[in-house]
């Protein structure tokens, strides 16, 4: 297995402030999905922005062997814009389109293929804002595929989607893993985190990293979520409940 | 028919029509981005902020477009400064500066330079006396708006649609936004002789807001905004000529009527399947 993404003692900061996240050391191989688990404001987005090169790395190193794409939460985008699912997928080609040129026919074909891959070929002309939350999430994943990204940073991809949509997104993500892509999935849902190959727990700094069974212990979860956490022990399953701050 | 042809025989109306068409291209294209990016109030305030500049241009011996641009840039600078610390919201600061600029202009025009140009002309535009320089400026902003929309349309779309992902998609948001605001300022100045300081949104907001109700893609929105702006401004100029109105209010009334019709048509019961855009 080839290691695609790796950090060593990574610390990242906004502007000239103190590090918002520090001590992050993890590695992910081809085809692995890593849940990035932590409370809101715990540093999940900070980690993504550091991996994307958008904020300063003040200590440690990042090694990424492949193109990386960010898949934001869909409600962060303007749902009233007159853009179709295909238009949004095509945005993945903007970076390689010179300012004086139109998007190429090859990129259009690639956007259509990406929508087909996430199961939305028949919705290509539908306005983005009229799709369901889960469908929008899959369009944004298609956009990352048009970017030719081998590493996908997904910000709460299951936030606010119903069960059927969640399954459709899971299928899409499994398909991408089978293809050797690396997925980092930010979530504050412990049960969600259990489904993936690795879990990285963060709360301002790295709390733990490893396979879910080894990592998601009561001690680690308490350190991740702090005293606010309510632990419900249902057999082997610990469920973390916390207040949402947006 | 003579209702249409008589006005066109007058050279001053030919110039006014030429200016209106140039402004329609710029107003329709930039208006699309103004409406999508929610810059309508900013645009209105930037127009009003040029008023004191226009009042002092004559007495101080400045070219009106230069004085207006300086006042508009002063407005943008003060807005940036007032909102920097986050204690004052952008729309509150905009409202405050808008009122301040109008008040300053009125005081200057009534008490300091009372013999200056007619205030209503500065606020609502005029059909008469469009200079060659005014026409050239109009043509220049039309060309600039076409070029910028072709070159930066994707950047403006991406930055407005999904700012969180813009940078990871290779979009240089800050540079694009800077150019959009600069182009907006110059277009406001170019629109002043025709529609006046108070009514620049007549060309820069109203047609695009109307087209927004009727179109489902960016390309259609851009095209419909330009077409509507041209139709509204030509109709408004003809009305102004026949009814002896200043052109700004005449075009504004036509634009408002077109918006009302579009809103009624798209909200009618037989279109209940179509969601209102907001």
Identify the CA nearest to A159 among candidates A139, A182, A179, A188.
Answer: A188
pLDDT tens readout for residues B12-35: 899 999 999 999 999 999 999 999
Interface contacts A/B by beta carbons within 8 Å = 75
pLDDT tens readout for residues A81-111: 999 999 999 999 998 888 888 889 999 999 9
Percent with pLDDT over 70 in chain B: 95
Which whole-number Å values give the CA distances from B80 to B14, B74, B175, B225, B248, in the listed order? 40, 10, 16, 29, 29
Among all residues of chain A, which has the CA nearest to that of B162? A77
Q: Which fold has domain B11-149+178-265?
A: ABC transporter involved in vitamin B12 uptake, BtuC (1.10.3470)
Q: Do A94 and B154 touch (CB under 8 A)?
A: yes
- Sheet of A56-64, strands arranged across: A19-29, A3-13, A56-64
pLDDT tens readout for residues B70-85: 999 999 889 888 888 7
Among all residues of chain B, which has the CA nearest to that of A148? B169
- β-strands A3-13, A19-29: how paired? antiparallel
Q: How far is CA B252 from the centre of its chain?
A: 11
pLDDT tens readout for residues B191-231: 999 899 999 999 999 999 999 999 999 999 999 999 999 99
| B 155-174 residues inside an 8 A Cβ radius of A | 155, 157-158, 160-165, 167-171
Q: Which helix (H) or strand (E) holds A8?
A: strand A3-13
Q: How many whole angstroms separate alpha carbon B238 and alpha carbon A182? A: 64
- Please give the biggest Cα pair distance in chain B: 59
pLDDT of residue A235 exceeding 50, the answer is no
What ranges do the domains of chain B cover?
A: 11-149+178-265
Q: Given CB atoms, is A107 within the 8 Å cutoff of chain B?
A: no
pLDDT tens readout for residues A20-29: 999 999 999 9
Q: A190 CA to chain B: closest CA distance, Å?
A: 25
Q: How many whole angstroms separate alpha carbon A90 and alpha carbon B182? A: 28
Dihedral sign for Cα atoms in the order A223, A160, A170, A139: negative
The ipTM estimated for the assembled molecules is 0.85
């Amino acid at each position: 297995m080839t290691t695609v993404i790796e950090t060593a003692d990574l610390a990242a900061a906004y502007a000239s402030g103190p590090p918002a996240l520090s001590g992050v050391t993890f590695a992910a191989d081809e085809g692995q999905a890593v849940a990035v688990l932590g409370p809101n404001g715990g540093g999940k987005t900070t980690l993504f922005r550091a991996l994307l090169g958008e904020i300063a790395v003040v200590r440690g190193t990042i090694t990424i062997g492949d193109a990386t794409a960010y898949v934001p939460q869909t409600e962060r985008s303007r749902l009233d814009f007159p853009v179709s699912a295909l238009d949004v997928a095509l945005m993945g080609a903007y970076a390689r389109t010179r300012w004086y040129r139109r998007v190429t026919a090859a990129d259009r074909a690639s956007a259509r293929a990406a929508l087909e891959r996430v199961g939305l070929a028949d919705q290509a002309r539908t306005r983005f804002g009229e799709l369901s939350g889960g469908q929008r999430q899959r369009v944004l994943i298609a956009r990352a595929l048009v970017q030719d990204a081998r590493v996908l940073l997904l910000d709460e991809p299951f936030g606010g989607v119903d069960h059927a949509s969640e399954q459709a997104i899971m299928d899409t993500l499994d398909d991408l893993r089978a293809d050797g892509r690396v997925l980092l999935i930010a979530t504050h849902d412990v049960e969600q985190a259990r489904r993936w190959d690795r879990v990285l727990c963060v709360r301002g700094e790295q709390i733990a990293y490893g396979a879910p069974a080894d990592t998601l212990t009561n001690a680690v979860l308490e350190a991740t979520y702090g005293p606010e956490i309510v632990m419900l022990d249902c057999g082997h399953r610990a469920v973390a409940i916390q207040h949402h701050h947006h | 028919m003579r209702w249409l042809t008589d006005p066109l025989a007058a050279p001053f109306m030919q110039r006014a029509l030429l200016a209106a068409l140039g402004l329609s291209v710029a107003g329709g294209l930039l208006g699309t981005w103004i409406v999508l990016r929610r810059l309508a109030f900013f645009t209105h305030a930037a127009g009003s902020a040029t008023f004191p500049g226009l009042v002092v241009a004559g007495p101080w011996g400045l070219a009106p477009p230069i004085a207006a641009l300086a006042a508009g840039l002063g407005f943008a600078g003060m807005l940036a400064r007032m909102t920097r610390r986050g204690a004052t919201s952008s729309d509150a600061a905009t409202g405050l500066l808008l009122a301040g600029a109008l008040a300053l202009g009125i005081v200057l025009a009534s008490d300091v330079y009372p013999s200056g140009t007619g205030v209503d002309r500065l606020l609502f535009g005029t059909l008469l006396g469009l200079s060659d320089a005014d026409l050239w400026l109009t043509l220049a902003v039309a060309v600039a708006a076409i070029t910028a929309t072709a070159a930066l349309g994707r950047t403006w779309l991406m930055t407005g649609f999904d700012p969180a992902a813009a940078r990871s998609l290779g979009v240089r948001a800050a540079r694009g936004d800077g150019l959009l605001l600069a182009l907006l300022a110059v277009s406001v100045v170019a629109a002043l002789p025709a529609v006046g300081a108070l009514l620049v949104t007549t060309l820069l907001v109203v047609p695009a807001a109307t087209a927004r109700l009727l179109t489902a893609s960016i390309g259609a929105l851009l095209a419909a905004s330009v077409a509507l702006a041209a139709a509204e401004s030509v109709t408004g100029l003809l009305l102004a000529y026949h009814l002896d109105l200043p052109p700004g209010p005449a075009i504004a009334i036509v634009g408002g009527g077109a918006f009302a019709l579009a809103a009624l048509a798209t909200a009618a019961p037989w279109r209940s399947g179509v969601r209102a855009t907001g």
